[in-house]
Chains A and B, each alone.
Chain A
Amino acid sequence: MAKILAVDDSASMRGMVAFTLRSAGYEVSEAENGQLALDTAAASRFDLVLADVNMPVMDGISMVRELRARPDYKGVPILMLTTESNTDKKMEGKAAGATGWLVKPFDPEQLLATVRRVLG
């Protein structure tokens, strides 16, 4: 089953994402901010990364930029979880290398549908 990395500074959000994906059978790792996510992503390879935008230490957009620069993660889908409905943030994420985005609030079904779509 696919391995997914969930990155969010909010424990409840992260918990909800991880629980939903695990219930669907995915293998999920969690990270609290961009920096920790980069460390986790270096230790093992993931098939999909879901990342919040606003986080302390390192935000999601910087994380995407750094992750994309690694050969291992060139073509790996990275989705931004964002409440920013304005296109600026989405486009900033895209420019940094994000595959797409999922706009908060989303419910577990929407999350799963998007993840299934991306993982095929």
Chain B
Amino acid sequence: MSTISVTQFHKVFFEESLEGLDAMETALLALDEGGDAELVHSIFRAAHSIKGGAATFGFPEMAAFTHEAESLLDQVREGRRAIDKPIIELMLRTVDCLRGMFERAQGGQPLADASSEELKRQLAAAVGREVPAPTAKVAAKPAASNGWSIKFRPHAGMLAGGNDPLRLLRELAALGQLVVEAQLDRVPTLDALDPSECHLGWHLTLTGAATREAIASVFEWVEDECDLSIEPLVAAAPPPAPAVETDAAPAGAGAAAGTTRSAAASSNDAGSVRVGIDKIDSLIDLVGELVITQAMLDQFREDFDPSRLSMLQEGLAQLARHTRSLQESVMGIRMLPIGSVFNRFPRLVRDLSQKLGKQVKLELVGEHTELDKTVLEKIGDPLVHLVRNAIDHGLEIPEKRRAAGKGDVGTLRLEASHRGGSIVVEIVDDGAGLNREAIINKALQKGLIKSAEGISDEEVGELIFQPGFSTAAVTTDLSGRGVGMDVVRRNVVDLGGNVAIKSRPGNGTTFTITLPLTLAIIDGLSAGVGDECYIVPLVSIVESIQLPAEAVRSVTGGGELFRFRDEYLPIVRLHQQFGCATARQKIEEGLVIVVEADGNRVGLFVDELIGQQQAVVKSLEANYRRVDGISGATILADGSVALIVDVAGIIRLQARRKAA
């Protein structure tokens, strides 16, 4: 049995502990705003679980660290200490420090560092105790004896506690040679006997090298439920003189355990998703339905008769329905509530607003809105940047707010919602709005625009997304981290979404992020070019038109343009772009699909449109290599492969060609 290794539980321990830390942080922030005692209990519970787990799963430094935090929380929990700002601050730093320890634990690195040791000292000082230094302690050497006389009489109710005296006798027998003599004097007559009570007592003689401690530990659980005496046998040799023992320094033991930790913890970034049991149940239901449908269709294999055609059609329709539902359910497994990303903001907003001397009330709306896990993981950084930005540049300090006739406390709202096939996340502040003049001046200075004449508010908003743009007079360490709004937009666009800005001068700014529900399946239009089939994402398509030959103008350098509404758009011939042969070379023989990305439009020339379909996106990079203008591949109903057109990429390529 010695083969059971606790390392296999590390992953789940890390996961639950990180969740526990999130809960601790949330509760601490709620306490900061005057919460109740239940919050203290939940914080204590989280710390307590981490300590227990850390000790069990082989992280003694973490257990020792958490022990100090737990002691402090215990004082608060028992009302021996009031919870105040400094303690909340200290506990928040503890949460951060533990997160760092978990990160290092996952990487198999040593857990404790200088800052964790310092924090541990501060926690210990707050508890009112010096850091325990290795101390020598005087302990009496257990007295040895060549035998013991034990008198053991359980109280009548001992059996009710689940302790069986026979178990204790068996344990004693394992310590040496045991002679058992039962005391029957208290056994009542049969009519008065209650079988759930214990009426016996024992005189026991144990010979051998057992210590008094070993014997006492057998009775440890029942010492308050029995009369017990343990005496050395009369002929016992005199006990040896007490000796001095030194406790080994606990730090040494900790370091040793740290280095022997298994490497299993370091290779666990495969990622996992927690799925609600209801989602799994619905999947199982659907698979059940599918099996029934399959069985029904199977009948037709043996004996098909044209008279049963309608049944076959019905069966196929059912199959299509179930497959669709199954697809939706499976996609649903990857969907997680955005709340897990929103959770980090209360802390961020608190720290930031304190640092800047601003008062900010954070409102979180629509935390249950679900997003694809991949999108969720990547949306965190852009959101953090926008929130930082809103507090740093958008919201004003209290004096300025008062001067503008607003309340001292600014409001920052993060709101997530479903809108059509997209997820919309809005970051709304009630600050000063965009400073039109400052932005235009900066853009002039950077050469982003030639003159300030006739620039619309919309265009001013767009300017801040230009690379290298920053209006802050002094680059603070908050927003000015070398990351501009252009990076925010690029990150969002990479996820297939977009960011828009709307400013209300004097009343605030709204950033709107639109994201696709999932990255794994897209709705697309399939288009034929020669023998090939290409998928154009439906979201990028403006419209499809057939052009007469005279609508196309050739320009120098070999490009072609056509007039679409009020503008001239370049034509990208897909057969040229991807080098595939087609008989349809003349513009009037094929179709032009007008597509748009980042506000730019081009016309894609294809032979024909095949139809609208959902495409499961497979990575081309992972299976082949990167190809310009292609974002992935998918497998068609007939088993052949179709490439998915990267509209933004094609537009970039087109612009580069034009410039060259």
Chain A residues near B (Cβ < 8 Å): 9-13, 15-16, 19-20, 23-24, 54-56, 68, 74-78, 83, 91, 94, 97-101, 104-109, 112, 117-118, 120
Whether B12 pairs with A100 at a CB distance below 8 angstroms is: no
Pick the residue among A9, A12, A20, A77 that contacts B4 (CB under 8 A).
A20
In the assembled complex, the Cα of A99 lies from the Cα of B161 at a distance in Å of 5
Scan B162-198; emit 1 where CB is below 8 A from any A CB, else 0.
1110110011000000000000000000000000100
- Residues A112 and B160 in contact in the complex (CB < 8 Å), given A83-B51, A105-B56, A120-B167: no
Whether B4 pairs with A13 at a CB distance below 8 angstroms is: no
Q: Can you offer 14 A-B residue contacts whose CB atoms are under 8 A?
A: A11-B15, A12-B57, A13-B52, A15-B9, A16-B56, A54-B44, A68-B160, A75-B164, A83-B48, A99-B163, A99-B221, A105-B63, A118-B162, A118-B167
Name which residue of chain B comes closest to A98, CB basis: B161
A4 → chain B closest CB, angstroms: 13
Whether B16 pairs with A108 at a CB distance below 8 angstroms is: no
Pick the residue among B8, B49, B56, B161 that contacts A97 (CB under 8 A).
B161
Tell me which residues across on chain A come within 8 A of B44, comparing CB atoms. Answer: 54
A8 → chain B closest CB, angstroms: 9
Q: Name the residue among A76, A98, A105 with the largest chain B CB count within 10 angstroms.
A: A105
Pick the residue among A54, A78, A83, A117 that contacts B162 (CB under 8 A).
A78
In the assembled complex, the Cα of A15 lies from the Cα of B15 at a distance in Å of 13
Whether B167 pairs with A23 at a CB distance below 8 angstroms is: no
Name which residue of chain A comes closest to B56, CB basis: A105
State whether the Cβ of B42 lies closer than 8 Å to any Cβ in chain A. Answer: yes
In the assembled complex, the Cα of A106 lies from the Cα of B159 at a distance in Å of 26
Whether B55 pairs with A83 at a CB distance below 8 angstroms is: yes
Whether A23 pairs with B1 at a CB distance below 8 angstroms is: yes
Whether A107 pairs with B48 at a CB distance below 8 angstroms is: no
In the assembled complex, the Cα of A78 lies from the Cα of B160 at a distance in Å of 11
Residues 36-68 of B at the A interface (beta carbon under 8 Å): 42, 44-45, 48-49, 51-53, 55-57, 63
Pick the residue among A12, A54, A68 that contacts B45 (CB under 8 A).
A54
In the assembled complex, the Cα of A23 lies from the Cα of B8 at a distance in Å of 14
A79 → chain B closest CB, angstroms: 8
Q: Name the residue among A12, A13, A105 with the largest chain B CB count within 10 angstroms.
A: A12
Scan B6-36; emit 1 where CB is below 8 A from any A CB, else 0.
1011101101100000000000000000000
Pick the residue among A16, A99, A101, A118 that contacts B9 (CB under 8 A).
A16
- Residues A104 and B45 in contact in the complex (CB < 8 Å), given A16-B9, A23-B4, A117-B167: no
Q: Name the residue among B51, B52, B63, B162 with the largest chain A CB count within 10 angstroms.
A: B162
Whether A12 pairs with B221 at a CB distance below 8 angstroms is: no
Scan B135-161; emit 1 where CB is below 8 A from any A CB, else 0.
000000000000000000000000111
Q: Name the residue among A11, A76, A112 with the largest chain B CB count within 10 angstroms.
A: A11
Residues 257-303 of B at the A interface (beta carbon under 8 Å): none
- Residues A106 and B56 in contact in the complex (CB < 8 Å), given A10-B49, A16-B9: yes
Whether A10 pairs with B1 at a CB distance below 8 angstroms is: no
Tell me which residues across on chain A come within 8 A of B159, comparing CB atoms. Answer: 75
In the assembled complex, the Cα of A99 lies from the Cα of B57 at a distance in Å of 26
B490 → chain A closest CB, angstroms: 38
Pick the residue among B1, B51, B53, B166 that contacts A109 (CB under 8 A).
B1
In the assembled complex, the Cα of A107 lies from the Cα of B221 at a distance in Å of 20
Whether B13 pairs with A75 at a CB distance below 8 angstroms is: no
Tell me which residues across on chain B come within 8 A of A99, comparing CB atoms. Answer: 161-163, 221
Tell me which residues across on chain B come within 8 A of A20, comparing CB atoms. Answer: 4
Whether A120 pairs with B170 at a CB distance below 8 angstroms is: yes
State whether the Cβ of B310 lies closer than 8 Å to any Cβ in chain A. Answer: no
In the assembled complex, the Cα of A47 lies from the Cα of B458 at a distance in Å of 72
Tell me which residues across on chain B come within 8 A of A76, comparing CB atoms. Answer: 162
In the assembled complex, the Cα of A56 lies from the Cα of B6 at a distance in Å of 25
Whether B164 pairs with A120 at a CB distance below 8 angstroms is: yes
In the assembled complex, the Cα of A75 lies from the Cα of B53 at a distance in Å of 30
B41 → chain A closest CB, angstroms: 9
Pick the residue among B4, B16, B196 that contacts A10 (CB under 8 A).
B16
